[in-house]
Amino acid sequence: MIFYEPIKRLIDITASLVLAVLFLPIWIIIPLLMKLEHPSYPILYKPERVGKDGNPFNLLKFRSMIMLKSKNGKLEHAVGVWKNNKELFEKYKKSGWKLEIDNDPRITKLGKFLRQTSIDEMPQVFNILRGDMSLVGPRAYVQPEIDDALKRFGKEKIGPLINASLSVKPGLTGPWQVAGRNKIAWNKRVKMDAAYAKRQSILEDIAIIIKTPFAMISKW
C-alpha cells in the first residue's frame, strides 16, 4: 500500500497527542503512588529494545520492578536479578520470556496492577511521538530473547519471522496483545507479528486499536 506509512504516521502523531492529554491524571497519580511505595526508586524504566531494521532504542515504561543494590551500593533495576538467580532465569526463558506476575519476585505491589492493566506501557506514547515506535505494531523485542529464539527454534525456521517483524516499527499495542497477551507462546507471537508486518493494513490497525482497551481490562 503506497500511502500506508504516511497515513500510519499521521494516525500515530494524532493519537499519541490525544492520549498524552487524556492520560494527564495518570502522569500525576501513578508517579505519586510509586514514590509513596518506594521513595528512592525512579519512576521510569528505560530498557533497550530492538526497533525497526534492528536499530536499538530506549523504551519508556513506568517502573514495575523493585531495585536492587549492586556491589558498589548503587540501586540497579531488578531485571538484572538473573545474575544471582540462574534457575529463575531458565524458567523465564523456557516460559517464552515471561513469568506469571504472581510468581515473579521482581514485581512491586503497584507494579502488578500496572502490568495487569498495561498502564506501565503508557509512557510509550512519547516513543511514538519521537518516531521510535508506532501505535500499532509488533512487540518491541529484547536482543537476548531474539538470540535465544534463533538457537531454540533454528535460524531457518524463526529467522525469517523475526526479520519480517523487524521490518516495521514496534507498537504500543499489536496483534497478539489483543488476542491472548502473554498466554501466547513466543514462537506463535513472532509469527503473528510477522504476518501483521506483511499485511500493512490501516483497517487492521484501527481494529487492533479498538480491541486494545478491552484487552487492557481483561485481567481486572
Residues contacting residue 112 through CB under 8 Å, at least 6 positions apart: 64, 101, 102
DSSP symbols for 37-67: H-TTS-SEE--EEE-GGG-EEE--EE--B-E
Task: State pLDDT tens for residues 87-127.
Answer: 777 777 666 666 677 777 789 999 999 988 889 999 999 99
Closest-CA residue to 106 (of 67, 156, 160)? 67
CA distance 120 to 129: 17
Average pLDDT, integer, range 197-215: 91
- Cell numbers representing residue 166 in the block: 523487524
pTM of the complete model: 0.85
More confident: 80 or 111 = 111
130: pLDDT strictly greater than 90: yes
Q: Do 72 and 86 meet the contact criterion of CB atoms below 8 Å apart?
A: no
- Name the pLDDT band for 85 (thresholds 50, 70, 90): low
Task: State pLDDT tens for residues 25-34.
Answer: 999 999 999 9
Half-sphere exposure of 47 (CA within 13 A, CB side): 18
